[in-house]
Amino acid sequence: MSLIEVTTIAANVITSAGILGLVAFYIGYQHNQKQFRFTVMISCIERFQSLLPSLRSGTVDEETLIKYIDLTSEEFFYFQNRYIPRHVTVEWLDSIIGNFPIYSETDKDRPVNYTCLRFKDVHDANMLVSYPRIQKAMTVRGTYLFPASCGNEGMDPNQKIDLIKEIGANLGIRFKKRDFRRAMLS
């Protein structure tokens, strides 16, 4: 075997090893990203679960509301940065729209969902003043009809989807039809 052949074989072996190393690095990176996203999601779920008994009580104290607002602001950050799967984002936004005030871009004095707003103190005590991410997300251009009473009939499902899409767009998120098909909306 000539020196050129040996050199060519060695170069091919080194190149192949380099490519295999890059593939292994990429697979490891993807795995770590999935694990990180899962950890972020589980952390949010656990924190929400710890707040849930207080949130379900008849009266919710200001400290609990602030913790919930902090968590929601953090979740919005995670939504924007794709740390939470899109279909899970849809499900979480579905519950958030009943808990947080939604303001019309043309009238920011009274939330459009005030009659069915679960935590009216968030609006009444101006608790979102330090949370521009939530304020931006929850200020909408569209016209949405919320039920006069907060019974089981709820909001029209198509309007709810449009509202979730607009809140997502305010966060720079584009949902696809499959995100809504995979989500379990109330």
Q: Is the pLDDT of residue 151 over 60?
A: no
Q: Which residues are paired to 104 by β-bridges? A: 107, 140
Give the containing element (helix H, strand E) for 95.
Answer: helix 86-99
Q: Is the pLDDT of residue 125 over 60?
A: yes
Cβ pair 97, 113 in contact under 8 A = yes
Q: Is the pLDDT of residue 142 over 80?
A: yes
Q: Is the pLDDT of residue 21 over 90?
A: no
Give, in degrees to the nearest 5, the angle at Cα 86 between 93 and 49: 50
Q: Is the pLDDT of residue 6 over 70?
A: yes
Q: Which residues are paired to 159 by β-bridges? A: none
N- to C-terminal Cα separation, the chain: 73
Cβ pair 78, 171 in contact under 8 A = no
Residues with Cβ within 8 Å of 60's Cβ and at least 6 positions away in sequence, in order, are 54, 119, 121
Q: Higher pLDDT residue, 1 or 70?
A: 70
Residue from 97, 83, 107, 99 nearest 170 by CA: 97
Domain count, the chain: 1
Alpha-carbon span 44 to 74, nearest angstrom: 9
DSSP state, residue 106: T
Q: Is the pLDDT of residue 148 over 70?
A: no
**Chain-wide mean pLDDT for the chain?**
89
Cβ pair 69, 129 in contact under 8 A = no
**pTM summary value:** 0.82
Tens digit of each residue's pLDDT (9 = 90 or more) over 77-88: 999 999 999 999
Most confident listed range (27-41, 49-63, 125-139, 144-158): 125-139
Which residue range forms the structural domain that includes residue 173?
3-182
Alpha-carbon span 135 to 147, nearest angstrom: 22
Q: Is the pLDDT of residue 150 over 90?
A: no
Tens digit of each residue's pLDDT (9 = 90 or more) over 43-60: 999 999 999 999 988 789
Alpha-carbon span 64 to 25, nearest angstrom: 43
Alpha-carbon span 151 to 128, nearest angstrom: 26
DSSP state, residue 146: P
pLDDT of residue 91: 94
Q: Is the pLDDT of residue 186 over 70?
A: no
Residue written as tokens 């871009």?
A: 105
Q: Is the pLDDT of residue 147 over 80?
A: no
